[in-house]
Structure 1
Amino acid sequence: MMIYAIASGGRLDVARGELQALMLSVGQRVEPVEREGVIFCDARFVPEGLGGRAAFIKELGVLIAEVSACRLGDVELDGAARLLEGKSFKVDSEGFHGNTKGEVDACLGERIVRSIPGAEVDVKEPQLVVRALNTGGRVLLGVMEPTVKRKWWERRPRSRAFFHPSALHPKMARLMVNLSALAPSEVLLDPFAGTCSVVMEACLVGGLGIAIDLDPRMVTGGKRNLAELGMSSKSEVLHGDVRHLPIREVDAIATDIPYGRVSSSWGASTWDLLRGLLDSAVGCLGRGHRLVVMHPREVSPKDAKGFERVGEYEFRAHRSLTRVITVLERET
């Protein structure tokens, strides 16, 4: 089947990498491509809830047809039958102006009900949503799960039991977890855990988390934050040094290296911490598993021994700081 994805915030590069990693987390290696602002990839299946897990993908669905706007009324719905048979749905078109949107929604809804057994319209609580996306002359028809509001604000750093100004925003932490290709029940390690932003998101998507920090205050505060979310049973918070990790094996590593005035590195340079991380990660990660690291642009893990760089994404924090997320995969 063909999958389509719409990027959040216009970051097509990030959404493409996130989609690739999410599909890898369910055992599928895909090569997403971008066309006219939409990302596509071939897949064997799409697990339930995968779109709701994403950070920089605002919409993820199964493509059922692609037609010119003038032939929308004649579109074949064979591809939708196996998805919509016996299901409730609503049509939600986008890119059509004025009364045209309402007409498109009504027309497609009527055609689906007439041609697919058991399909029925439910605009309030549908099981599935049929999308008609007008991309400028071409209309993409897709089927997706109802959009889940991610409510990042509920987990914003200042609303937590323990706050520190270096804490990652939950959307960025979720992106790092997703780029690591963490699968449900797998173990993710954050060796510079701080307030446990990354481990929180790992637990929320069904993984298990190990948080390590050299600062005893962060260890205590991180435990409080995880307990507040009810994640204590899915996580472990330890006092430790990335250069001497008390962990032998994990499935993924995602971390934000300390740098800047608000982060404490206990006298070690950012370069020293990065080298310690890379040395430890080689011993902790199996072949094909991923290390995702956020770092300042001036300090980069390029040419890391034992790893292949599979992604790099820049985010401007402010005028004097650009942060980079680099995705490394253990060489096979």
Structure 2
Amino acid sequence: MYLLELVGTDDALAAQEAGTRASGVERIAPALAVATGIDDRVGDLALTHRVGDLLARTDASLDAVLAALTDASIDREGSVAVRARTVRETAIDTQRVERRLGALLVERGFTVDLDSPDHELRAVFSGECGALAWLTHDLDRSVADRAPTDRPFFRPGCMAPTLARALVNLAGARPGRTILDPMCGTGGHLAEARRVGARAIGIDVERAMAAGAAQNLAAVDDDGWLVARGDATALPVGAVEGCVVDVPYGRQTKVASRDVETLVEAALAELRRVTGRVVLVGDRPYVDLARATGWTVSVHVERRVHRSLDRHIHVLDRA
């Protein structure tokens, strides 16, 4: 079993994304999940901070984790560091936890090295749950350090790279697969698809946006992508493994003389021709519209962006 430390901003979405790189994912407490297995692309996840070999699940108390470590069979040797953390307002003295667990490990033959240990034991407390795990993956957080404003071509309203990465993962991005964005804008989804090794195809009705997306993708990779001007309701592409589409926001928005819902309906109908998985993002729920166009809705998550905007994220599979 593995312990997954989630980012904690949206556990439902984080667990869904984790399921693209892990099997048997189950949420056990705020910002914590377990999995029965992980694959070699687990480092691609955006909404998981760390992964570890689960040693024990306990109550959220020092005594409980001490008892669990005392009883545990440990097949490791060398140096160790103990790191304890709490999620939100769980009332645990983490420094005391680290001292007591560290002392117990020293009694069992380990040496302590806080700078470059051979092993890191993590004690995590969330709600009424405690967990001990040996760290196996401390995931690269560089995706969170990037900003849309860092790109050669930028327009206001771009999605943060962390969320874009999570969405392309949900769409099925990985090496050997192709991800399509039929309303690609500045190309944020496509850039993250390329960063996890997928081929990327972008279409946008506006020539300037298509050109800007191409400029941004060229800054990421020399090849493995294609961007062109086109219509999301009459796509000039064949079959792809997955699609991410962030539709225009604003209930009064018009695109090529069509209201947004009419555009989304036509695009979803067209996407059934080219893919079996779509991750659809909008400023309103499209559950009924998706079902009416022949999709099943496996996930629908609402995320607050700011006071006047909620994002609705849908994961759709072809019925």
Residue in structure 1 matched with residue 184 of structure 2 by the alignment: 193
Q: CA 1:263 to 1:125, structure 2 compared with 1: closer, same or farther past 3 Å?
A: farther
- SS at 1:133's partner residue? strand
Residue in structure 2 matched with residue 211 of structure 1 by the alignment: 202
Partner deviation per Cα, 1:303-328 (whole Å, 9 max, x = no partner): 14432211011122333332201001
Q: Out of 226, 237, 240, which is 2:230 matched to?
A: 240
Residue in structure 2 matched with residue 33 of structure 1 by the alignment: 26
Residue in structure 2 matched with residue 155 of structure 1 by the alignment: 146
Q: CA separation in 2, counterparts of 1:21 and 1:127?
A: 29
Q: CA separation in 1, counterparts of 2:232 and 2:208?
A: 17
Contact 1:73 1:107 in 2 (8 A): no
Q: CA separation in 1, counterparts of 2:10 and 2:120?
A: 24
Q: CA separation in 2, counterparts of 1:238 and 1:330?
A: 25
- SS at 1:278's partner residue? helix
Residue in structure 2 matched with residue 325 of structure 1 by the alignment: 313
Contact 1:77 1:112 in 2 (8 A): no
Residue in structure 2 matched with residue 290 of structure 1 by the alignment: 277
- SS at 1:315's partner residue? strand
Q: CA separation in 2, counterparts of 1:41 and 1:304?
A: 35
Q: CA separation in 1, counterparts of 2:117 and 2:292?
A: 48
Task: Map 1:1-332 to 2 at 5 A.
Answer: 2-23=1-22, 28=23, 30=24, 32-37=25-30, 39-43=32-36, 45-48=37-40, 50=42, 52-68=43-59, 69-74=62-67, 75=69, 76-78=71-73, 81=75, 85=76, 90-95=81-86, 96-97=92-93, 99-107=95-103, 109-110=105-106, 113-114=109-110, 122-126=113-117, 129-135=120-126, 139-152=130-143, 154-229=145-220, 231-260=221-250, 265-285=255-275, 289-297=276-284, 299-300=286-287, 301-331=289-319
Q: CA 1:42 to 1:191, structure 2 compared with 1: closer, same or farther past 3 Å?
A: same
Identity of aligned residues (%): 26
Q: CA separation in 2, counterparts of 1:263 and 1:223?
A: 25
Contact 1:188 1:253 in 2 (8 A): yes
Contact 1:7 1:58 in 2 (8 A): yes
Q: CA separation in 2, counterparts of 1:17 and 1:232?
A: 31
Deviation at 1:128, TM superposition (A): 5.1
- Unpaired runs of 5+ in structure 2? 87-91
Instruction: Report the number of matched residues.
Output: 309
Contact 1:209 1:236 in 2 (8 A): yes
- SS at 2:65's partner residue? helix
- SS at 1:174's partner residue? helix
Q: CA separation in 2, counterparts of 1:169 and 1:6?
A: 21
Deviation at 1:187, TM superposition (A): 0.8
Partner deviation per Cα, 1:82-123 (whole Å, 9 max, x = no partner): xxx478753212244164134135235436655xxxxx7653
Contact 2:6 2:50 in 1 (8 A): yes
Name the amino acid aligned to 1:60.
Answer: V
Name the amino acid aligned to 1:269.
Answer: D
Deviation at 1:207, TM superposition (A): 1.4
Q: CA 1:217 to 1:137, structure 2 compared with 1: closer, same or farther past 3 Å?
A: closer
Q: CA separation in 2, counterparts of 1:159 and 1:318?
A: 22
The Cα RMSD (Å) is 2.9
- Unpaired runs of 5+ in structure 1? 115-119
Deviation at 1:190, TM superposition (A): 0.5
Q: CA separation in 2, counterparts of 1:144 and 1:94?
A: 13
TM-score normalised by the chain length of structure 2 = 0.84
Contact 1:188 1:199 in 2 (8 A): yes
- SS at 1:145's partner residue? strand
